[in-house]
Structure 1
């Protein structure tokens, strides 16, 4: 995980997910988490960006 990814995970979780996964269900879920409560959005972003084998 790069420094840029870590910073984006903390400051703007949906942008980090978009960079890693593109448009999709994961981005929508992260936007909802971030809008409702910011901390779950950050946790979800770290979870998705730290997964090794990502299937699009």
Structure 2
């Protein structure tokens, strides 16, 4: 019998992570919704793509 790890992202999670890499605010909107994290990610992305990218992937990979 195989067990599914709770830490492994689901297929929807993988899509969210890929979208986070392409467009960080979109990944945050999909994983957390439109709120403080979304606005914060837009600010990070405007200041530099890499900080926004790291923040978005971190949120997408982290369980809610």
Short-chain TM bin: 0.7 to 0.9
Query: Are residue 28 (structure 1) and residue 39 (structure 2) matched?
Result: yes
Rg (Cα) greater in structure: 2
Give aligned pairs, total: 53
The normalised TM-score by structure 2 is 0.73
Distance 1:50 1:3, change over 3 A: closer
2:31–2:60 Cα contact (<8 Å) kept: yes
State the match for 1:45 in structure 2.
56
- Unpaired stretches in structure 2, ≥5 consecutive residues: 1-8
- Structure 2 residue aligned with 1:19, among 30, 34, 44? 30
CA distance in 2, matches of 1:14, 1:25: 12
Q: Which runs of 4+ in 1 moved over 4 A?
A: none
- Unpaired stretches in structure 1, ≥5 consecutive residues: none
RMSD between aligned alpha carbons?
1.2
The normalised TM-score by structure 1 is 0.82
